[in-house]
Chain A
């Protein structure tokens, strides 16, 4: 990636804050947006991320599937504009009175509740499966003669050593690891002398174990436009197709204004809606009426109740199905958001700042996994991480094969926050719309083409 963002996000934040201070209250001003605090969410209940107190403990209500969990991290930064920032780099003090135990360190370094370190680093242990290579190979780190204090600081808060753009989380300073646990890990790392000394030990002949020799497989799940291969098509056919021509409480239907669904063609197996061809490729769009960017899903959630009177909360089944039906009308056409609109330009800048913003207890940003500086095009455990410069893949909603359901880009963003130990915003938050704008702008510049609904893991 060709640009340096060390310190850039801070400068950008300061500039944004200055603009924001001048323009408070002036919603229509170019370059500002409503925030999730001001936006009345039209998302489905499970997408809103409501905080509740259960048995004296605050939890966040999230989706009941996909491993979202309910643990709340409300004291840590989120993507909400105007929220708290992540704490600055912090120096750690290695406890002198504790003797490190390499055995305990070995158990900790592969404990999934503690990171796991092995998601990003290779250690000489063939039972780690699958290992990742976002960070350096640690198999011979003990042969480098590094001081214990240095290794302690890297685990405590690596930003002190590597600078603010390091993709590694400050495991000690954020409270996820105790000083004693770090001392054990340091002892383990110092015991890794390599075999032969100084060289990474070859612990297995399996090429799949080593992330550097593991083949990158992009599985073929079949033709996404074949209704017997892609259940998302059946989902949209059952829900969205009848809904399109069904009159809402106000007596009007989608078809009443936008025209009926005509015979299908190769790219649009659920039928062609002539007035909707090319529309999905132009979203997210700036809506002056609401002072924010909106994706197809965000817009459906306000547009349907206003016109037909039928509520269509975002991330709900009807919203997802209708979004598929509308977006797939643009299949095969290049993404074409309005890059000349100054409000869109401002949204891209805000989205980019969010992309580099540290959130959650782990204090990691989108960029830490999805740029070449971080995990882009590398293995995080068994997952091959996308690089924002190469494949943003905003062909959402798509059929997620391991969850066996349709999800949109917002559910995808919300899901990322659970491993970051951050609370999610409501799915229709303006902050997410700006992030989506930043991603679709890249797709527009690259000439990527719409393909909805995708079939993917």
Chain B
């Protein structure tokens, strides 16, 4: 599985004013702290530290993550939708790379 695949699941149809649940899975190793001779290895660890979501360009969700979150993190959050549109979720990795996925919510 390639790193950074973002898969989003939203209801196929929603009504105006409805609160829908957006489920997002990202494929990522979420590198954890390594030890050598009982001492933590000092290095740049590669894990997702921030995730943000927009709906039609408007920020609707933002969260911070740490190394304590497991490999291939799954997040779910509610969004109140007033018009049809695109939910866009972006994951920020500690190396500076970002991974983005999109899904359509229709009325």
Query: Do A231 and B23 have beta carbons less than 8 Å apart?
Result: no
In the bound complex, CA of A85 to CA of B71 (Å): 43
**Other-chain residue from B7, B23, B70, B76 in contact with A234 (beta carbon distance below 8 A):** B7
Q: Does A235 contact B (CB under 8 A)?
A: yes
Query: Do A228 and B24 have beta carbons less than 8 Å apart?
Result: yes
**Other-chain residue from A228, A235, A239, A404 in contact with B74 (beta carbon distance below 8 A):** A228
- Given known A226-B23, A228-B24, A228-B74, contact A234–B5 (CB-CB < 8 A): yes
B102 → chain A closest CB, angstroms: 14
Query: Do B9 and A231 have beta carbons less than 8 Å apart?
Result: no
In the bound complex, CA of A227 to CA of B27 (Å): 11
Q: Which residues of A contact B (CB under 8 A)?
A: 226-229, 231, 234-235, 238-239, 404
Q: Does B25 contact A (CB under 8 A)?
A: yes
B3 → chain A closest CB, angstroms: 11
Taking CB atoms, residues of chain A closer than 8 Å to B76 are 228
Q: Which residues of B contact A (CB under 8 A)?
A: 1-2, 5, 7-9, 23-25, 27, 70-72, 74, 76
In the bound complex, CA of A229 to CA of B5 (Å): 14
In the bound complex, CA of A226 to CA of B76 (Å): 13
Taking CB atoms, residues of chain B closer than 8 Å to A226 are 9, 23
B35 → chain A closest CB, angstroms: 18
In the bound complex, CA of A238 to CA of B1 (Å): 7
Can you list the 5 inter-chain pairs with the closest CB atoms, starting with the nearest?
A228-B23, A228-B25, A228-B9, A235-B1, A227-B7
Query: Do B71 and A234 have beta carbons less than 8 Å apart?
Result: no
In the bound complex, CA of A228 to CA of B8 (Å): 7
Taking CB atoms, residues of chain B closer than 8 Å to A229 are 23, 25, 74
Taking CB atoms, residues of chain A closer than 8 Å to B9 are 226-228
B78 → chain A closest CB, angstroms: 15
Taking CB atoms, residues of chain B closer than 8 Å to A234 are 1, 5, 7, 25, 27
In the bound complex, CA of A228 to CA of B74 (Å): 7
Taking CB atoms, residues of chain B closer than 8 Å to A235 are 1
Taking CB atoms, residues of chain A closer than 8 Å to B25 are 227-229, 231, 234
Query: Do B74 and A238 have beta carbons less than 8 Å apart?
Result: no
